[in-house]
């Protein structure tokens, strides 16, 4: 089997795919006396499919399985981006992972979006909390006026209405964009910031708690899946469940550790007041409303998915500064 990813091993889910998922499958096949073994060919860092191209690579059978970053496949996998329509949610990757994976199990349209692309979701992944990293100090929302802020995919909506200018980008381009002045800051993750050394080109971090967000998952080609005997499918399901938990726990831990390390290396940390955080939440358009209306016209239950996701966050004790399902 070919297992692939557009990211390199510097990204946690690829590291754990290689170090945990692949060897654990064979270990459990062996320990359960199941007479099969997987000969893995690992193809990470875009060697087979670039970031944003994994969906098509798995769908077409160029690879058997890999990590699909649904945040970059919003046109084909819109429902999986529900968390990005609900900013200022939970800052805990474990909570977001649990909430979205429950939706995946409970709402048929979620699973069907994978099946329509000839895939089956095995494991889900949330990234750690989004905060603001800048080349200039930020004390209030007013300090963002006229500044160019990098944000990936749907996260660009979080900049609209703040007075800042949203600049599209990915972690792969952030370092040079910030170093050369293409942008003045970025909405990004502590883990990504630290692993790519972005704190070498930004001096300030402002804790805003825009939330952890569901970024995608490990998926397998449906045709490949159907060739597995039931006992092998069961092993894949068990390892996938444990992988989801391990990834969420490690993501949360590394995000918190990355902040501590960057502060030790000179990053200056400040906190938005609740008043300024509320101002930010109130200033941006309700993209969940527009998103829901757009996809309801396509026959997708987007509005109920937003409500269900928000209710799950509330059940986990999350207090939202704004109810994105009410407008």
Whole-angstrom distance, CA of residue 128 vs CA of residue 266: 21
Place of tokens 């750690």: 128
Spans of all domains in the chain: 2-126+213-257
* Phi, psi angles (nearest 5°) of residue 176: -65, -35
Place of tokens 């609900």: 86
Check residue 267 and report its DSSP letter.
P
pLDDT of res. 154: 81
Whole-angstrom distance, CA of residue 27 vs CA of residue 74: 35
Whole-angstrom distance, CA of residue 5 vs CA of residue 64: 11
Count how many residues are written for the chain: 327
Whole-angstrom distance, CA of residue 282 vs CA of residue 292: 19
pLDDT in tens, the chain (327 residues): 999 999 888 888 999 999 999 999 999 999 999 999 999 999 999 888 887 899 999 999 999 999 999 988 888 999 999 999 999 999 999 999 999 999 999 999 999 999 999 999 999 999 999 999 999 999 999 999 999 999 987 888 899 999 999 998 777 789 999 999 999 999 999 998 998 899 999 999 999 999 999 999 999 999 999 999 999 999 999 999 999 999 999 999 999 999 999 999 999 999 999 999 999 999 999 989 999 999 999 999 999 999 999 999 999 999 999 999 986
The SS3 assignment for 153 reads helix
Whole-angstrom distance, CA of residue 221 vs CA of residue 227: 10
Whole-angstrom distance, CA of residue 177 vs CA of residue 169: 9
CATH number of the domain at 2-126+213-257, please?
3.40.190.170
pLDDT of res. 27: 98
pLDDT of res. 327: 65
Copy the structure tokens of residue 43.
């193809």
Whole-angstrom distance, CA of residue 306 vs CA of residue 323: 10
Q: Measure Cα distances from 297 to 239, 294, 300, 302 in Å.
A: 37, 6, 7, 10
Concatenating the DSSP letter of every residue in 164-226 gives SEEEE--HHHHHHHHHTTS-SEEEEEHHHHHHTTGGGT--EEEE-----EEEEEEEEEHHHHH
Whole-angstrom distance, CA of residue 39 vs CA of residue 43: 13
């Amino acid at each position: 089997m070919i297992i692939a990813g557009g990211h390199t091993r510097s990204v946690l889910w690829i590291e754990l795919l290689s170090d945990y998922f692949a060897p654990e499958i064979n270990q459990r096949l062996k320990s359960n006396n199941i007479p099969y073994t997987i000969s893995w060919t690992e193809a990470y860092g875009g060697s087979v499919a670039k970031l944003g191209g994994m969906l098509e690579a798995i769908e077409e059978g160029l690879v058997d399985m890999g990590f699909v970053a649904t945040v970059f496949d919003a046109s084909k996998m819109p429902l999986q981006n529900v968390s990005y329509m609900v900013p200022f949610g939970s800052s805990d990757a474990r909570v977001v992972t649990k909430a979205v994976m429950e939706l995946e199990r409970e709402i048929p349209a979620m699973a069907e979006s994978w099946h329509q692309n000839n895939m089956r979701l095995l494991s889900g992944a949330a990234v750690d909390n989004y905060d603001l990293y800048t080349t200039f100090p930020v004390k209030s929302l007013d300090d963002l006026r006229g500044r160019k802020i990098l944000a990936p995919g749907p996260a660009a909506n979080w900049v609209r209405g703040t007075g800042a200018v949203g600049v599209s980008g990915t972690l792969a381009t952030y370092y040079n964009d910030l170093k050369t002045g293409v942008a003045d800051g970025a909405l990004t993750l502590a883990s990504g910031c630290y692993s790519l050394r972005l704190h070498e080109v930004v001096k300030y971090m402002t804790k805003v708690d825009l939330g952890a967000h569901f970024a995608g998952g490990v998926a397998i080609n449906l045709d490949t899946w159907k060739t597995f005997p039931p006992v092998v499918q069961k092993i894949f399901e068990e390892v996938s469940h444990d992988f989801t938990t391990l990834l969420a726990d490690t993501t949360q831990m590394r995000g918190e550790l990355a902040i501590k390390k960057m502060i030790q290396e000179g990053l200056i940390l400040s906190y938005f007041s609740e008043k300024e955080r509320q101002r930010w939440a109130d200033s941006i358009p309700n993209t969940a409303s527009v998103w829901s209306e757009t996809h309801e016209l396509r026959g997708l239950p987007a509005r109920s998915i937003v409500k269900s996701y928000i209710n799950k966050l509330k059940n986990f004790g999350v207090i939202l500064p704004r109810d994105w399902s009410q407008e």
